[in-house]
Amino acid sequence: MFICRERGKRMRGLEMGAGFFTVATSTKQLGWLSSVLAGILMCKVVYDLTGVISASLVKEYRRLNRKQKLEWDNRGFSTFHAIVASACALYLLLVSDLFYDSREQLVINRSSSFSNTTLGVSIGYFLSDLAMILYQYPALGGVEYLIHHGLSLFAITQSLFSGQAQIYILMVLFTESTTPFVNLRWYLDVAGLKNSKLYIYNGVTLFLGWLVARIFLFVFYFYHMYVHFDQVKLVYPLGFYSLLTVPPVLATMNLFWFWKIARGMVRTLSKARHSQ
C-alpha cells in the first residue's frame, strides 16, 4: 500500500512537471509570435508615419510619382528597423554578458528573452518587406533582394526556434547598421540632391561603414566559427549546414555590393573634384 502511494505521488509529480513544461513552452512560443507581430506592426506604423511626415515637411516628397513615394515610405521602416536591430545586436554582443566566454554554457546554446525578441521583431520586418517586394515586384528590388531576405528569414527563424547559434545571427543582424546610409543615398538622389556635400559625406561614410560592418565583420565571423568549431558541430544538422552555406552567400553578395559602392564613391568624388 505504501509503495502504491509513493508511485502515485511520483506519477502526479511527473504529470505536474510535464504540465509546467507545456505551459512554459507555450508561453515561449506565444512570446515568439508576439515579437513577430510587433515587428510587422512596427513596419506598418512607421510606413504610414513616413508618408504623413514626409508629405508635411519634405517638399521634394510631394513632387514624387506614386512608385517613388511607395519606395520612399518603404525605406522609412527599413531605416527604422536597421537602427533598432543593429543597436540591439550591438548591445547583446558587446554590452551584455550573454556571450562572455566566462560563462559555463556553450556559446552556441546561449539565448535570452531579449535576444529572442530581437530576432522575432526582425522576422516581422523581413516578412513585411519581402511581402511588399513580391507584391510590387520589381519596383522595390530585384532577385538579389529576394535572395537576401529569403536567406535572412531562413537563418533567423531557425535560430529563434532552436535557441542555437544566436551569436552568429546577431553578428549578421548588426550588418543592418549600414542600411540607413544606403537609404539616405537613395533619398538624396530622388530629391535632386546628388551634387550636395551631404551626398558626398554620406557616400564616404557608407563606404567605410560597409567595409567595417559587412566585410571585416564577416572575416571575424568566420574566424570565430573556426575557433569555436567544436561547438558549432553540436548545432542540429540543418542549422549546422546553414551556418556553413548561408553566411558565405551573404558575404559574396556584400562583396559585390561593396564593389558597386566603391565605384559609385570614386565617381562622385571625381565629379566633385572636377566641379571645383
| Mean local confidence (pLDDT), 211-216 | 96
pLDDT at 20 over 80: no
User: Which of the four pLDDT bands, split at 50, 70 and 90, describes residue 195?
Assistant: confident
DSSP string computed for 83-106: HHHHHHHHIIIIISSTT-TTSSS-
pLDDT at 159 over 60: yes
Give the C-alpha separation, 276 to 274, whole Å.
6
* Tens digit of each residue's pLDDT (9 = 90 or more) over 231-247: 999 999 999 999 999 99
| Mean local confidence (pLDDT), 250-264 | 93
Look at residue 27 in the predicted model and tell me its pLDDT: 81
Contact indicator for 149, 246 with CB cutoff of 8 Å: no
User: Which of the four pLDDT bands, split at 50, 70 and 90, describes residue 25?
Assistant: low
Q: Who has greater pLDDT, 92 or 266?
A: 92
The average confidence (pLDDT) of the chain is 89
User: Which of the four pLDDT bands, split at 50, 70 and 90, describes residue 29?
Assistant: confident
Q: Who has greater pLDDT, 186 or 2?
A: 186
Burial of 195-212, coded b for 16+ CB within 10 Å and e otherwise, reads eeeebbebbebbbebbee
pLDDT at 118 over 90: yes
* Tens digit of each residue's pLDDT (9 = 90 or more) over 43-70: 999 999 999 999 999 999 999 999 999 9
| Mean local confidence (pLDDT), 130-135 | 95
Which bin fits 165, alpha (ψ -120 to 50), beta or left (φ > 0)? left
Q: Grid coordinates representing 56?
A: 508635411
Looking at the chain, the whole-number percentage of residues with pLDDT higher than 70 is 90
User: Among 113, 133, 97, 220, which Cα is nearest to 168's?
Assistant: 220
Look at residue 276 in the predicted model and tell me its pLDDT: 62
